[in-house]
Amino acid sequence: MKKYFITLFFLFTLGALVMGQATDPLVSKCVMNAGPNAKYLKDFRVQLSKSTTTGELRYKAQMSLWKNTKYRFSMCNSEDSKGQLILTIKDDANKVVLSSFDQKSGKAYPFVIFECYKSGIYTLNYDFLDGQQGSGVGVVSMVR
C-alpha cells in the first residue's frame, strides 16, 4: 500500500511540474525573434489602457545590468494592440541612455541593442506609442 501511495504522489507531483511549464505564446515568439546568439534573461508583460496624457512612460521596472555586457531588448505586441510597444532605458541618475523610439524620425524599433559600460540598476520604461491601448511583452536577452 505504501508503494502505491508513493507512486501516486510522485505522478501527481510530476504532473503538476509539467503543467507549471506552460508559457505565453507571445513571450515564446518574442524570445525566438531575439536570434540564435541571444540568451533569454527576463520578460516583462505589459498591458495598458489608453492614456489621456502623454509624457512619462507608464510601465516601469528595474533591472540590474552588468558592465561590459551587451543586451538585446525586444518588444512584441499582441495582435489586438492599438499601439506599438516602446522602451526607454534610464540609468541610476534618471538619465535616458537608450530608447527604441526616435523622436526626430518618429520611428519605433522592435528591438534595441544596449552595450552596458557601467554596472548598476537601470529603469526600463515601457509604454505604447502615443499612449495607445495595448498588450505586449518586452524580452531582455544577453547577446554573446
Cα–Cα distance for residue pair 144/106, rounded to 1 Å: 30
CATH class, domain 24-143, is: mainly beta
Say how many C-beta atoms besides its own lie within 10 A of residue 38's C-beta. 22
Burial of 62 (0-12, 13-18, 19+ CB in 10 A): exposed
Where do the domains of the chain lie? 24-143
CA–chain centroid gap for 19, Å, is 23
Over residues 55-82, the pLDDT tens digits come to 778 999 999 999 999 999 999 999 988 8
Q: What is the pTM of this model?
A: 0.79
DSSP string, 82-97: SS-EEEEEE-TTS-EE
Over residues 10-57, the pLDDT tens digits come to 545 544 444 444 478 888 888 888 888 899 999 999 999 888 776 778
